[in-house]
Chains A and B, each alone.
Chain A
Amino acid sequence: AQSVAQPEDQVNVAEGNPLTVKCTYSVSGNPYLFWYVQYPNRGLQFLLKYITGDNLVKGSYGFEAEFNKSQTSFHLKKPSALVSDSALYFCAVRDDSNFNKFYFGSGTKLNVKP
């Protein structure tokens, strides 16, 4: 069975500092991994995905994620955080046997302080 885990409920970082939001995954086959961001009273917005290829994936709004197969991790990163990055972040993995299903992590609330 597929799953993702986000070990941190909340991450606090100062504006201008680098940020990392952690995600680990468990899959039986090849991992198809996604990051989404959710602002208050909005839907989830797609940030980036890893399907195959380079381990460093670049996405929207200056975010990137590093795929690490040996550590089964897919951490979201940004070199310099903005106050406007404060939001809820979800990691997701696609189901191996049903390509139309996705499993979400529990979410990490990112707080960027001025």
Chain B
Amino acid sequence: DAMVIQNPRYQVTQFGKPVTLSCSQTLNHNVMYWYQQKSSQAPKLLFHYYDKDFNNEADTPDNFQSRRPNTSFCFLDIRSPGLGDAAMYLCATSKQGDSQPQHFGDGTRLSIL
């Protein structure tokens, strides 16, 4: 089945140690998103790609970066994780078009020691 896959599902890192989360998709969607979700709150959009066009949210900390080397893959890099960055990180995709919903992966739960 076509899907959005996030690896790993659980990630533990140390305070200040860089970490990379990955997302891949088999849907061939041209838009990919990264969201941060804390404690059953609404997902907070960090950034999204429309093809290779990167769109950063104004309130996304500089500590968060992203790469999209090709259509299928997208990475979230956290350069110096702080305790406040512990959260669920959700990757999503959508197909360009006004009627298209987003398709979400199952997330990576990040813990900071």
Contact = CB atoms under 8 A, between A and B. Distances in A.
A51 interface: yes
A99 B98 contact: yes
B26 interface: no
Interface stretch (A14-22, A40-48, A68-76): A40-48
Q: How large is the interface on A (under 10, 10 to 19, 20 to 34, 35 or more residues)?
A: 20 to 34
A107 B41 contact: yes
Contact of A43 (B48, B50, B106): B106
B48 A100 contact: yes
Interface in A45-91: 45-46, 49, 51, 88, 90
A44 B99 contact: no
A109 B42 CA distance: 12
Interface in A83-109: 88, 90, 94, 99-102, 104-107, 109
A103 B48 CA distance: 13
Interface string B46-83: 00101000010000000000000000000000000000
A107 B98 contact: no
B43 to A, nearest CB: 6
Given A41-B109, A43-B4, A99 B97 contact: yes
Contacts of A88: 40
Interface of A: 32, 34, 36, 41-46, 49, 51, 88, 90, 94, 99-102, 104-107, 109
28 contacts: A32-B99, A34-B101, A41-B88, A42-B107, A43-B4, A43-B92, A43-B104, A43-B105, A43-B106, A43-B107, A44-B43, A45-B104, A46-B101, A46-B102, A49-B99, A51-B98, A51-B99, A90-B42, A90-B43, A99-B96, A99-B97, A100-B48, A100-B50, A101-B48, A104-B43, A106-B42, A107-B41, A107-B42
